[in-house]
């Protein structure tokens, strides 16, 4: 295949992806009273609330004028969201530029997947299947197009890997990959895992430039980490984000790793364990630094996912946010391994070699298409309908419900009202009310408390990162919100604080608890 023809096919894949992304974004929107709303995944809407407050001049805080708590883990991405909030758009459309930016980031990322592939092989045919698998990988698309910083981190990792592979091939050194990964750590702190993995790998397998790697890598890592930490200490008074204490504090290493291994095993099984093992066959036949680096990054991200106990949304299937960023490298080595197997078959075929070559090329393409179904769990009808956008993507039903709730809460409360919520993103963002986060993402007291097993919540495990800490005595009994919008696990524990001082009201389809005689409840607006 000529390089010109390969570039033409690459352009077609990018174009198809952009069409798919536009359709995907449209399917995340919904109508409320005739107005179309674009809303991100609820965790991203938490960042959007911080971004809105920053753009409005209150600083990166959860509640305007309230305590400074870093309830987000993506400072640079939140800063980008703040810039979006300077646009003259209504709240119903404010998420759309973030989604469009995510689509453009993913499209740009495909170019660097191709560039990495070009460093691995001289055959442009091998790069295109990996680009195709990346372009239509549901997990990466879903996290990014629903507003998470995953796509930007993936882009930074891929740019860094391309630069590293180019340097290895040319036997040169450049600090550029470490600078890019330093920026990635500002997007999200745990991008430091990929930063350190690259540094460790090159310090071992690029002995010619080991000294430069250690000096530049360690210096830039410490520098970027120190600047972020000092800024956090100065503004929030904590060395780490509040969500770190929420998700890591109080959990034993054994409990985290145990759950991490279980959910990682489920991930491998659902994507097809046989296909999962194929990339690692290159270690038997092609032991070089280029493919070894890509696999090492994937394994490092996998190990980190296990270490932290996985993500909160493992029951939705697919790669979580920690693993998704390394999947493009996995796909590249996967296709390369398939071609090595194809070459081995050709070497055995002494007769009819041309016929066997055409057959093995067709088989490689067939396996790639089949793997697209396996990696995205498309053999399940529901997963296929979501991947194809016939059905709305995951989380969108919840996004719509939370947006409805936020608007309803705004209609029955004054601007000074305080509300207690579980799904803290869209409800708080659209209600524009003082919000008490029952699960502690934006509350230091809850985040630094003791974790508890979840009970009575369907489809949840006892241990679900970010969802195992709550204290009704503090959040309701002490803080006394005007409106308790939602309750979490063990809701009966909240009753002593609700029975005497609150009355049950019906708001839309939900039952809420309104504080008796509260001047911040618009009682006349309650049906």
Per-residue pLDDT of the chain (527 residues; tens, 9 = 90+): 578 898 999 999 999 999 999 999 999 999 999 999 999 999 999 999 999 999 999 999 999 999 999 999 999 999 999 999 999 999 999 999 999 999 999 999 999 999 999 999 988 888 999 999 999 999 999 999 999 999 999 999 999 999 999 999 999 999 999 999 999 999 999 999 999 999 999 999 999 999 999 999 999 999 999 999 999 999 999 999 999 999 998 889 999 999 999 999 999 999 999 999 999 998 887 778 999 999 999 999 999 999 999 998 888 888 999 999 999 999 999 999 998 887 777 777 666 666 667 777 777 788 888 899 999 988 788 889 999 999 999 999 999 999 999 999 999 999 999 999 999 999 999 999 999 999 999 999 999 999 998 876 544 467 888 899 999 999 999 999 999 999 998 999 999 999 989 999 999 888 999 999 899 999 998 87
CA distances from 474 to 437, 459, 494 (A): 11, 27, 10
Using DSSP, state whether 56 is helix, strand or coil.
coil
Q: What are phi and psi of 462, to 5 degrees?
A: -60, -35
Same domain (yes/no): 374, 438: no
| Same domain for 328 and 405 | no
Same domain flag for 350 and 408 = no
Q: How far is the CA of 31 from the CAs of 39, 391, 403, in angstroms? A: 11, 16, 11
- Residue 506's H or E segment, with its range, is strand 502-507
Q: Both 318 and 444 in a single domain?
A: no
CB 191 within 8 A of CB 153: yes
Per-position DSSP letters for 99-146, written without gaps between them: HHHHHHHHHHHHHHHHHHHHHH-S-HHHHHHHHHHHHT-HHHHHHHHT
154, 256: one domain: yes
* Cα–Cα distance, 349 to 237 (Å, whole number): 68
- Does residue 145 share a domain with residue 81? yes
For residue 87, what are the domain limits? 3-387
406 and 359 inside one domain: no
334 and 413 share one domain: no
Instruction: Please compute Rg for the chain using Cα positions.
Output: 25
* Tokens coding 462: 């006892």
Please count the structural domains in the chain. 2
Q: Which of 334, 362, 387 finishes a domain?
A: 387
Same domain, 158 and 24: yes
- The residue from 387, 414, 440 where one domain ends is 387
The answer to whether 340 touches 282, Cβ cutoff 8 Å, is yes
Taking the model in full, what pTM does it have? 0.94
Cα(492)–Cα(509) distance, rounded to whole angstroms? 21
Same domain, 61 and 169: yes
Q: Which residues pair with 32 in a beta bridge?
A: 35
What pLDDT is recorded for position 456? 60
Task: Kindly list the strands in the beta sheet with 418-421, ordered across the sheet, starting from the edge strand earlier in the chain.
Answer: 434-437, 418-421, 483-484, 510-515, 502-507
Q: What is the pLDDT of residue 460?
A: 46
Q: Go through 341-350 and write b for each residue having 16 or more CB atoms within 10 A of its CB, e for each that does not.
A: bbeeeeeeee
Give the residue among 453, 409, 460, 447 at the shortest CA–CA distance from 430: 409
Q: Which of 353, 387, 421 is the endpoint of a domain?
A: 387
382 and 427 inside one domain:
no
- Helix boundaries (H) for 249-320: 253-271, 273-277, 282-285, 289-307
177-212 burial: b if 16+ Cβ within 10 Å, else e: bbbbbbbbbbbbbbbbbbbbbbbebbbeebeebeee
Task: Please check whether residues 139 and 170 belong to one and the same domain.
Answer: yes
């Amino acid at each position: 295949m000529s390089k010109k023809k390969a570039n033409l096919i690459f352009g077609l894949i990018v174009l198809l992806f952009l069409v798919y992304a536009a359709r995907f974004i449209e399917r995340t929107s919904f109508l409320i009273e005739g107005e179309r709303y674009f809303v991100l995944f609820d965790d991203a809407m938490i960042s959007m609330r911080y971004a809105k407050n920053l753009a409005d001049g209150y600083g990166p805080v959860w509640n305007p004028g309230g305590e400074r708590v870093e309830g987000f883990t993506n400072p640079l991405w939140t800063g980008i969201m703040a810039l979006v909030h300077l646009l003259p758009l209504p709240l119903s459309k404010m998420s759309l530029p973030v989604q469009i930016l995510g689509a453009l980031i993913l499209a740009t990322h495909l170019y660097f997947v191709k560039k990495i592939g070009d460093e691995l092989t001289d055959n442009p045919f091998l790069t295109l299947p990996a680009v195709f698998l990346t372009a239509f990988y549901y997990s990466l698309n879903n996290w990014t197009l629903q507003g998470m910083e995953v796509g930007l981190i993936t882009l930074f990792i891929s740019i860094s890997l391309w630069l590293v592979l180019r340097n290895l091939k040319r036997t040169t050194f450049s600090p550029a990959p470490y600078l890019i990964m330093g920026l990635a750590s500002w997007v999200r702190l745990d991008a430091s895992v990929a930063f350190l993995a690259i540094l460790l790998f090159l310090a071992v397998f690029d002995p010619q430039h080991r000294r430069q790697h250690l000096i530049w890598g360690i210096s830039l890592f410490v520098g970027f980490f120190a600047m972020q930490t000092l800024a956090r200490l100065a503004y929030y008074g904590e060395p780490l984000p509040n969500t770190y204490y929420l998700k890591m504090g109080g959990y034993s290493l054994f409990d985290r790793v145990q759950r991490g291994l279980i959910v990682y095993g489920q991930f491998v099984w659902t994507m097809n364990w046989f296909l999962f093992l194929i990339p690692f066959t290159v270690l038997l036949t092609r032991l070089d630094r280029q493919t070894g680096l890509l696999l090492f990054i994937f394994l490092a991200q996998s190990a980190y996912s296990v270490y932290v106990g996985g993500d909160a949304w493992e029951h939705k299937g697919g790669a979580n946010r920690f693993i998704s960023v390394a999947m493009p490298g996995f796909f590249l080595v996967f296709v390369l391994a398939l071609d090595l197997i194809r070459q081995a078959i050709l070497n055995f075929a002494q007769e009819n070699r041309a016929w066997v070559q055409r057959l093995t090329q067709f088989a490689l393409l067939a396996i790639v298409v089949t793997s697209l179904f396996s990696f995205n769990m498309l053999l399940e009808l529901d997963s296929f309908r979501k991947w194809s956008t016939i059905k709305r993507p995951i989380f969108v039903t919840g996004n719509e419900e939370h947006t409805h709730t936020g608007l309803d809460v705004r209609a029955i409360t004054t601007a000074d009202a305080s509300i207690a919520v579980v799904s803290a993103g869209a409800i708080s963002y659209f209600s524009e009310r003082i919000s008490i986060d029952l699960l502690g993402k934006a509350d230091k007291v809850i985040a630094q408390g003791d974790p508890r097993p979840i009970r009575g919540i369907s489809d949840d495990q006892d241990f679900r990162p970010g969802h195992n800490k709550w204290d009704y005595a503090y959040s309701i009994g002490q803080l006394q919100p005007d409106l308790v919008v939602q309750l979490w696990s063990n809701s009966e524990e909240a009753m002593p604080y609700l029975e005497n001082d609150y009355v049950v009201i019906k708001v839309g389809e939900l039952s809420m608890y309104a504080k008796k005689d509260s001047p911040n409840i618009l009682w006349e607006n309650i049906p």
